[in-house]
Amino acid sequence: MSAATRIIACEGLGATTAAIANEAGVSNGSLFTYFETKTELFNQLYLELKTEIAAASFEGLPEQDDLRKRSFLVWSNWMGWATAYPEKRRALAQLAVSDEITATTREAAQQTMSGIAELMEQLRANGAMRNVPMDFVGSIMNSIAEATMDFMIHDKANAAKHCKVGFDAFWRAIG
């Protein structure tokens, strides 16, 4: 999975299984011992990365705290994961727009992210976007998050500041 992540991040979805196998230090045939097809590998990697983000996002989240504090912790954890693992972020971005990722895999990934969806719904419920479709709200969140991640990665000295400013923009837009 690490080799697939690195190759997809560098070469995109057109990466060959031979390149992935070579990066992993195994024969191309050996790769197919674990995954019947390249599509199966991509789906498994997509699900693994989504699960990893969800786990990282909720790390240390207290059960009881106000919504803004909980939201900021989830946001900060998400930004931390993305900036700590830029290759995983790039690979996931490629996989997210791929037709190779099945509806079943997308649904399973959505289930791993259900905690974030629940938090978003709480934010949206009484906010300015209470009558806006959740998919639209999620797109706004992702756009602000991606911009925040980019600034955090490219200006590491001010990463914490960018994280807070990005969250504040998100909070004003959604809350």
Residue 85: what pLDDT? 97
Token pair listed for 150: 């980019």
93-118 pLDDT, tens digit per residue, is 999 999 999 999 999 999 999 988 88
What is the C-alpha separation between 166 and 162, in angstroms, rounded?
A: 6
Q: In which band, very low, low, confident or very high, does the pLDDT at 62 lie, cut at 50, 70 and 90? A: confident
Residue found by looking up tokens 């050996």 in the block:
30
Range of the domain at 91: 2-174
- Judged against a pLDDT cut of 90, whether residue 44 lies above it is answered with yes
141 touches 170 (CB < 8 A):
yes
Radius of gyration for the alpha carbons in the chain, expressed in angstroms and rounded: 18
Residue found by looking up tokens 């911009």 in the block:
147
68-91 pLDDT, tens digit per residue, is 999 999 999 999 999 999 999 999
Residue 61: what pLDDT? 86
- Judged against a pLDDT cut of 80, whether residue 175 lies above it is answered with no
Residue 48: what pLDDT? 98
Q: Stretch 56-61: mean pLDDT, rounded?
A: 92
Residue 63: what pLDDT? 77
CATH number at residue 101: 1.10.357.10
> Considering its fold, how many domains does the chain have in total?
1
Q: Stretch 141-151: mean pLDDT, rounded?
A: 96
Residue 10: what pLDDT? 95
Q: In which band, very low, low, confident or very high, does the pLDDT at 45 lie, cut at 50, 70 and 90? A: very high
Q: Which residues of 63-75 are buried (b: 16+ CB within 10 A; e: fewer)?
A: eeeeeeebbbbbb
Nearest to 32 by CA among 21, 24, 42: 21
Residue 28: what pLDDT? 86
- Judged against a pLDDT cut of 90, whether residue 127 lies above it is answered with no
What is the C-alpha separation between 175 and 163, in angstroms, rounded?
A: 17
Q: Stretch 9-28: mean pLDDT, rounded?
A: 94
Range from 77-81, 132-136, 164-168 carrying the lowest mean pLDDT: 132-136
163 touches 94 (CB < 8 A):
no
